[in-house]
Homo-oligomer: A and B are copies of this chain.
């Protein structure tokens, strides 16, 4: 099982429209990607802060897609890459950090 993490680094001067992200962009992305049989789960999150009281989070927002394999994620994403990537400017000017991860331990067990 793998997880794709899409992290938006915090910047005091950056723009991030959570309404658009959670009501338009991510519902559309989830609708498209979850149609693939390799889809397992998705989580969309807002960074609240670091461990020091009042500190800014390292990431303003994050999205995590769990898929059966990297190949299945790519197969799910690529047909919709142009549409989804073109929509990013509608909610943020932050360049996301994207990486692939292997899930080593999950409890409850990764679905």
Contact = CB atoms under 8 A, between A and B. Distances in A.
Interface of A: 2-3, 5, 7, 18, 22, 26-27, 30, 34, 41-51, 57-59, 62, 70, 97-108, 110-111
B99 A49 contact: yes
A70 B46 CA distance: 14
A46 B98 contact: no
Contact of A108 (B100, B101, B111): B111
Number of copies: 2
Residues of A contacting B: mostly: strand
A60 to B, nearest CB: 10
B50 A103 contact: no
Contacts of A22: 104-105
11 contacts: A27-B105, A42-B106, A43-B103, A44-B106, A45-B103, A45-B104, A48-B102, A49-B99, A50-B97, A57-B101, A58-B97
Contact of A57 (B18, B42, B100, B103): B100
B105 A30 contact: yes
